[in-house]
Each structure stands twice: as structure tokens, then as C-alpha cells.
Amino acid sequence: METLSPALIAAFEAVLSKVPLEDRARLHAFKDAAAAAAAASAPHWDFDQPGHRAEEALAEAFGPALTDDHRRALAALWALEMPARIPAADLPDAVLELYPEWIQRLADFLTAAADPYDRDFWAKDVRISLVLSVPGARTQMIDLSSPMGPGQVLRHAREGWGWSVIPAYAAAQAWKPWLEVHTESRELSDFNEAGWDRAWATAAEICKRRPEMAGMLGSSWFYDPPLEQISPRLAYLRLNLLKHGAFMVHQGPGEIHTQRAATSSPTRAALIEAGDYTARSWIVAFPRAALIKWADGRKAAMQSDTARAA
Ligand SMILES: CC(C)(COP(=O)(O)OP(=O)(O)OC[C@H]1O[C@@H](n2cnc3c(N)ncnc32)[C@H](O)[C@@H]1OP(=O)(O)O)[C@@H](O)C(=O)NCCC(=O)NCCS
């Protein structure tokens, strides 16, 4: 696979050349150390950590002169190194085939130079360009290492959400690192059942290459069980996984979950406003053995559909 076409290389170089020559030299000087610090922080539960490490390196180098052009230039510099980082990560074809689109989108976003650089997009672009997170589908990206602490599992049980989570945690060997899925809000075309199936199936392929992974988890307000009545079109997000061996851990309400749940749905916004619904975040964890079994079944069904249609 050609990771970067000449046109993509030219696009990233053009982003880089928006900062003065001496600033480019400084970026080159600290990019490797900043990449190492970002990678070291990536297994933390906080998705934003690598972006913070990159931000710290930029602030140290440029101080008050730091601009979004510098941030974009650093992301472009790391994107230009993806042809080395992607093979080193030993990723399955299910991921590799998504890269051309994801890298093109990154190039387009950096080229468009929308100021200010949204914090969430910055965190995502740092992770993608450093291959700390990888494409899972058109909309979903997958972090390559994320923890599930025993604390929240015990709290789930203690607070009355059910004790079965404890044997589920043990059976999954959930103290091992997990993959974690995130939604890329700049490209929502795959936020549907087929897109999510693709993301979970991609995770299964990554797990096959990485026996140390416990499986993949997601954490969101959109796994909240009452949504089955309030927003039935989102119920597949949770039910399809539970049917095939996933388990859930309660995380609880929070300002960010309320905000996100209310963003696009007048129905949820009205219920929240009236005090009739409190958005809660949940983890859905799909342990590796069950995930791979489901994904292999899906693949076999897709192959027999194709054979029948031929
Ligand atoms: C996550 C998200 C992309 C899901 O969007 P979605 O698939 O359109 O689903 P929603 O339930 O949010 O739908 C919002 C509105 O779009 C319309 N809609 C969505 N799907 C529809 C369909 N199939 N047919 C008709 N209308 C539809 C409805 O008007 C719905 O509002 P309603 O609940 O009042 O009926 C969206 O909620 C979002 O962008 N949230 C903020 C960011 C976020 O939470 N990201 C995830 C972080 S964990």
C-alpha cells in the first residue's frame, strides 16, 4: 500500500510551509521527543493525553508566539512520517484499507486551516498521525491501548447496578489493555448499524494480531439503557453487542454527557430540560473471544451472501 501519494505529501508539506523556516527547524528538533511523550501517555484513560503532551512541547518551543499554524504544522510533520509508523504497528487489512480516506481527510482539514483548532479535533489528529489510534470504519476510530480500572467495576456493583459485572470482568481478564472506540464527528456518514458493525469487526481483526488485548470497549451516553424507549433508533448500539457477549459498566451522569445527548435530538433535549431524563455514560466492553467469534460469524455470513448473489 502506498501510504502517502505525491499529492498528499505535497498537501502536508504545504501545511508545514505556512510556518517560517526557523519555526520549521524547531518543530523538526522536538518532534521525536514530543512523539515519544505522546506515545507514553496514550494508554491513559484520558483520550486527550497525547494532545496535551504535543501542546506542551509546542508551548515550550514557541511560548506566546504559538499559533494554530504551528499545531497544524506539527500534525502535518507527523502525518509525513505515517509511512514508517503504520507498518511498525502491524495492522490488519481491515485498518489499512481505511487509511487512504482518513489521511485524505486529515490533509483536507489541515489545509482548510479552520481557526481556532478545535480541542477535540486536535486530540484526534495527534493520535491518528502518531498511529496511537487507527481507523475502525469511516466514522469510528480505535485507540490501540486503553485501561478498564477495577475501581469503576466495583463502584458499579456497590451502587446497585448488578454484581454480574465482577465475574464478567474476571472472565475477560479485563485488567489487560483494551482497544477503545471513538466517534469522529467530522465524518458521521458511518454512524449507523453497518458502520458500527464494521468498526467492531475491525477491532476483532486487530485483536487477532494482538493477543495481549482484552477486547474493545466504548464509553458513551448513547449506551444508556433508557434510550431504548427515548431514542429507539440508537438501541442497536448497545443491544447488538450484549446479544453476543459484551457487558456494561455504569459510569454515571456528567455535564459533557448531558451536552452531547442533547446536541442533535430535540426529543432528548426536551426531556433533559424538563428533568425527565438524566443522560448517563456507560462502558460497553466486548471481550476478545466473544468479539472474534461474532466477527468471524459476520464475515462467514457476508461471504455466503456474496456467493449466493454471484
Ligand atoms: C452521536 C450522534 C452522531 C448520533 O446522531 P444520530 O444518529 O442522528 O442520532 P440522534 O438520536 O442523535 O438523532 C438526532 C435527530 O436526528 C433525527 N434523526 C436521526 N436519525 C433519524 C432517522 N433514521 N430518521 C429520521 N430522523 C432521524 C431526529 O430528528 C433526531 O431527533 P429526535 O431524537 O428528537 O427524533 C449525535 O447524537 C451527535 O452528534 N451527538 C453529539 C456528539 C456525540 O455525542 N458524540 C459521541 C461522543 S461519545
Residue 183 shares a structural domain with residue 91: no
- Distance from the Cα of residue 80 to its chain's centroid: 21
Residue 165 shares a structural domain with residue 28: no
Residue 91 shares a structural domain with residue 127: yes
264 in contact with ligand 1, CB cutoff 6 A: yes
pLDDT at 1 over 80: no
- Boundaries of domain holding 55: 6-132
Residue type, 78: W
The CA 270 to ligand 1 mean position distance, Å, reads 14
Residue 127 shares a structural domain with residue 154: no
Q: Is the dihedral of CA 220, 221, 227, 233 positive or negative?
A: negative
State the pLDDT at residue 268.
98
Residue 194 shares a structural domain with residue 279: yes
pLDDT at 310 over 90: no
Alpha-carbon distance of 58 to 276, in angstroms, equals 45
Grid cell of 67 as nine digits? 499559533
With the most atoms of ligand 1 within 8 angstroms of its CB, the residue from 265, 268, 271 to mutate is: 265
State the pLDDT at residue 3.
87
263 in contact with ligand 1, CB cutoff 6 A: yes
Residue 127 shares a structural domain with residue 196: no
Alpha-carbon distance of 119 to 256, in angstroms, equals 14
234 in contact with ligand 1, CB cutoff 6 A: yes
Which of 82, 115, 132 represents a domain boundary (last residue)?
132
The CA 199 to ligand 1 mean position distance, Å, reads 18
Which of 132, 155, 172 represents a domain boundary (last residue)?
132
Kindly state the average pLDDT of the residues 199-224: 98
State the pLDDT at residue 2.
80
Kindly state the average pLDDT of the residues 116-143: 98
pTM passes above 0.75: yes
Strand 247-253: give its sheet, edge to edge: 133-135, 140-146, 178-183, 215-220, 280-287, 247-253
Ligand 1, residue 281: give the atom nearest the CA: 48
pLDDT at 263 over 90: yes
Ligand 1, residue 218: give the atom nearest the CA: 48
Residue 166 shares a structural domain with residue 269: yes
Least confident of 2-6, 157-161, 226-230: 2-6
State the pLDDT at residue 132.
98
The CA 287 to ligand 1 mean position distance, Å, reads 27
303 in contact with ligand 1, CB cutoff 6 A: no
State the pLDDT at residue 248.
98
The mean of the pLDDT values for the chain is: 97
Number of domains in the chain: 2
pLDDT at 271 over 90: yes
Residue 36 shares a structural domain with residue 80: yes
Residue 125 shares a structural domain with residue 156: no
Kindly state the average pLDDT of the residues 208-221: 98
Q: Is position 1 within any domain?
A: no
Neighbours of 125 (CB within 10 A): 27
Ligand 1, residue 267: give the atom nearest the CA: 34
Residue 77 shares a structural domain with residue 159: no
Grid cell of 184 as nine digits? 469522529
Above pLDDT 90, what percent of the chain? Answer: 96
Kindly state the average pLDDT of the residues 274-282: 98
